[in-house]
Copies of this chain bind each other. A is one copy, B any other.
Amino acid sequence: MIKTSSDPKHPRFLSNFYRDLLSEGVRKGITSLQGLTAHGRGETFDYLMGEKTCSFARVSIQAAASLLLLSKFPVISVNGNTVILSGKGLVKLSQLINCPLEINLYHASKLRERKIFTYLQNLGGMNILLPDKTKIKGIYSNRKMISKSGQKMADLVFIPLEDGDRTRALIHLGKKVITIDLNPLSRTANDATITIVDNIVRALPLLIQVITQFRQLSRNELQSKLNSYDNKKNLARALRFIRKRLAELA
C-alpha cells in the first residue's frame, strides 16, 4: 500500500501518486535522488501527449514484442526508477521471455544494487544479474559496468528509461536496443532499434499482453511484423502528435 499525500481532487493526482511512489523508492534506498528529477522530465512529455498510450506507441509495442520473441539472448536492463514504477511487470516479462534482469545504475552504488536485487527477488525475480568487472566502451557514467553473463552476451537489450550514452554504445557493438522513452527527441529514442514513446506504467502491461498473443505466431510472421516497422517514422509521428496537442491546448 502506497501512502500518497496527493488529493484525488487534484488535477495532477496520478502524477502526484507516482511522485510519491518514487519518493518512497528513495526512502527504501532504491531510487536515486536524481532519478526523481529524471522522472519529472518524462512527466512533461506524458502530459503533452495527454497521458494516454497513443497509436504510435502501440505500433512500437507490437514491433518490440516481435523482436523480443525473435532474439536469441535478450536482457532486460533495470534501474531504481523502473523497478519502483514497474517492478512486477519487469519480473513477469523476464519470466515470459525467459531472460535475465540486469541491474544497471547511472549513479554507482553497491548498496543500491543490493537493495534492487532483493526488491526484485521479493517480487519473484529468479534470474537477476549484477554488474561485474565487464565494461562497455564509450560511456562516462557507471552505466558502463555490465555483466558478462548479461549485456555482454546479449543480442538484444531492453532498456526502459535511459540517459543516452549506453544505447549508442550497445548499438555500436552490433546489439539491438528496445527502449521506453517519453521523450521522442532524446538520443536514446533516436539511437534505439525500437522506441516505445509512452509511460512505462502503461506500456509494460501492454507489451506483456502482446507478447502473450504473439507467442502463437511463427518466426516468419514475427519477422514480417518487424520488417514493416520504421522507428524514425514512428518518432516523427510522436513529434507531430505533440505539436498538434500544443496547438489544441494553446
Residue pair A107, B7 in contact (C-beta under 8 Å): no
Interface status of A9 (Cβ within 8 A of chain B): yes
Chain B residues within 8 Å of A115, by CB: none
Residue pair A164, B11 in contact (C-beta under 8 Å): yes
Q: Which segment, of A56-64, A67-75, A208-216, A235-243, faces chain B?
A: A235-243
User: What 0/1 readout, one digit per residue, does chain A (12-23) give for beta carbons within 8 Å of chain B?
Assistant: 100010011011
Q: Which segment, of A33-41, A150-158, A198-206, faces chain B?
A: A33-41
A250 to B239, CA, bound (A): 7
Residue pair A243, B246 in contact (C-beta under 8 Å): yes
Select A10's contact among B33, B37, B140, B242, beta carbons within 8 Å.
Answer: B140
Interface status of A55 (Cβ within 8 A of chain B): no
Q: A41-B43, A243-B243 are in contact. Are A141 and B7 (CB under 8 A)?
A: yes
| Most chain B Cβ neighbours within 10 Å, of A43, A164, A246, A249 | A246
Interface status of A45 (Cβ within 8 A of chain B): yes
A247 to B240, CA, bound (A): 8
Select A33's contact among B36, B43, B141, B163, beta carbons within 8 Å.
Answer: B36
- Identical chains bound together, number: 2
Select A43's contact among B37, B236, B240, beta carbons within 8 Å.
Answer: B37
Interface status of A183 (Cβ within 8 A of chain B): yes
Interface status of A44 (Cβ within 8 A of chain B): yes
What distance in Å separates the Cβ of A226 from its nearest Cβ neighbour in chain B? 24
Select A16's contact among B10, B26, B34, beta carbons within 8 Å.
Answer: B34
What distance in Å separates the Cβ of A108 from its nearest Cβ neighbour in chain B? 9
- 11 intermolecular pairs with C-beta atoms under 8 Å apart: A9-B140, A10-B140, A19-B38, A20-B34, A34-B36, A37-B40, A44-B44, A239-B249, A239-B250, A243-B250, A246-B246
Complex A-B, nearest 4 residue pairs according to Cβ-Cβ distance, in ascending order: A40-B40, A44-B44, A23-B33, A36-B36
Interface residues of A (CB under 8 A from B): 5, 7, 9-12, 16, 19-20, 22-23, 26-27, 33-34, 36-45, 47, 107, 140-141, 163-164, 183, 185, 187, 236, 239-240, 242-243, 246-247, 249-250
